Structure 1
Amino acid sequence: MASTSGTLQAFAKSGGAWQPVFAAMPARIGSNGFSDTKREGDRTTPTGVYAIDGTMYGIGGNPGVRYAYHRLVPDDWWNENSDSPGYNTFSHGPNPGGPSEPLWQISPQYTHFAVIRYNMPATPGRGSGIFLHQSNGNATLGCVSLAHEDLVGVLRWLDPATNPRIVMAPTDRLNRY
């Protein structure tokens, strides 16, 4: 069985060397662990190096992030319908169909979250809606989740001017990146 627990570590380059910014934080990943070949609905967290999207979201008000922030309202969806032209994007309006997520209804996970730019631009069926969000204590559907306090600390620290990246992989495979 794949591990669904991990550690999130944040680093910044200082004097030419990577230095830890926070103590290591317990994290949860997909219920089927990591995958190099993520597919829609497989409940795995994709391995790789990804950017953070330009807008952060949440049911709650802006916790003080440096990114654009959208407070979720009814009919805010993450389009996870592989057959639609807006696959793997934020959508406001009618349900885009398929397994799309009603973002405003998913609590506490979507109190605040950052979009991990996996499968963007989107290839249908490759997976969608990969976020850094609040943990509910369980494995995720493919996202990375943290305790509320840890999440808010990371979201506030992230700075779009530094073009941050997230590396997602088992520890024994980090050397690939």
Structure 2
Amino acid sequence: MIRHRAPVALLAASLLLTGCGGGAAASSDHKATSTEPASTGTPPAPGTPAPGVSARSAPQRLPGLGPKTGAAVPSAARQVVMVTGRGRDSPLSQVVLYERTSAGWRAGPVWPAHNALRGWTDHHMGGDLRSPVGVYGLTDAGGRLRDPGTRLPYHRSGAFTAPGTGFEGEPLAGSFDYVIAIDYNREPGTSPLDWTRPLGAERGGGIWLHVDHGGPTHGCVSIAEEHMKELLRALDPALHPVVVMGDHASLAR
């Protein structure tokens, strides 16, 4: 059972939040303890390329990563979600799922994405409207809708609600239908709604992969709903998935 320790504040574009995930709405008496059962479909065996993964080429090293970033990827990680920002101050990015096989890294399709309004930072602080650069685990998922068939622990709750509009006036409804918690300043193995902040509240948190609403985020990374479902079905805890995220220049260090 995934734990939920404390409620989270409402997300609205007019607020300076610690991250997109910090906007999930939960009432003070909402326990949010139900965990959606796994899909009855038979998942692919560990090591099987993820849906959409190409077998045409399999580089031995993850493309675009410099020695510092590459060294931060755990040796046990066999799935990497690569989020590459267009620029240090840009809210536009792309996402590619890589899976490591005996032949090397196999790349999936390129998905357009949004990151934080002001781009990226090496030292994320709550309310800075930048996404944190780095390598982080992907251990927990959830959302307002039913589990689409992920092997990650999935916490379904009505608390995954995004009211109001985004920075460009776009509606936020549905943004948290599916989320994957990025293990930045959070305790792995808990619900994405868990409010534990090991680095302190001032360092932000609630950084998620979630459904794109058509505009910049407060700190999260967002992709289209169909791609979120594909990613949720592909990620396998046995393959120790991580996200590598940042602007192009930062990742190349």
* TM value normalised by structure 2: 0.55
Residue by residue, what CA displacement relative to the aligned partner does 1:80-128 show, whole Å, maximum 9, x if unpaired? xxxxxxxxxxxxxxxxxxxxxxx33553110010000001352121111
2:191 maps to none
Give, in whole Å, the separation in 2 of the partners of 1:105 and 1:37. Answer: 26
1:157 maps to 234
1:104 maps to 161
Tell me the secondary structure at the aligned position of residue 104 of structure 1: coil
2:244 maps to 167
How far did 1:135 drift?
0.4
2:136 maps to 50
1:80 maps to none
Tell me the secondary structure at the aligned position of residue 38 of structure 1: coil
Q: List structure 1 runs of 4+ shifted beyond 4 angstroms.
A: none
1:91 maps to none
Give, in whole Å, the separation in 2 of the partners of 1:113 and 1:43. Answer: 19
For structure 2, the residue ranges without an aligned partner over 5 or more in a row are: 1-87, 164-172, 188-197
Within 5 A, what are the aligned runs for 1:135-146?
A: 135-146=212-223
Give, in whole Å, the separation in 1 of the partners of 2:132 and 2:103. Answer: 29
2:99 maps to 12
Distance 1:137 1:105, change over 3 A: closer
Matched residue type, 1:6: S
Would you tell me which structure has more strand in proportion to its own residues?
A: 1
1:123 maps to 199
Q: Structure 1 residue 35 and structure 2 residue 121: aligned?
A: yes
Residue by residue, what CA displacement relative to the aligned partner does 1:33-71 show, whole Å, maximum 9, x if unpaired? 010010011111000000013x31111111111112111
Give, in whole Å, the separation in 2 of the partners of 1:112 and 1:126. Answer: 24
* TM value normalised by structure 1: 0.78
Considering only aligned residues, what root-mean-square deviation do their CA atoms show, in Å? Answer: 1.5
Tell me the secondary structure at the aligned position of residue 25 of structure 1: strand
For structure 1, the residue ranges without an aligned partner over 5 or more in a row are: 77-102
1:95 maps to none
Residues 162 and 175, structure 2, Cα contact 8 Å, conserved in 1 = no
Give, in whole Å, the separation in 1 of the partners of 2:157 and 2:174. Answer: 13
Query: Could you tell me the percent identity over the aligned residues?
Result: 32
Give, in whole Å, the separation in 1 of the partners of 2:141 and 2:179. Answer: 6
Matched residue type, 1:58: G
Matched residue type, 1:104: T
Residues 185 and 204, structure 2, Cα contact 8 Å, conserved in 1 = yes
Tell me the secondary structure at the aligned position of residue 27 of structure 1: strand
Ranked by relative contact order (alpha carbons within 8 Å, sequence separation 6 or more), the top structure is 2
Tell me the secondary structure at the aligned position of residue 135 of structure 2: strand
Matched residue type, 2:119: G
Give, in whole Å, the separation in 2 of the partners of 1:156 and 1:66. Answer: 7
Distance 1:36 1:150, change over 3 A: same
How far did 1:16 drift?
4.8
Tell me the secondary structure at the aligned position of residue 176 of structure 2: coil
Matched residue type, 2:135: V
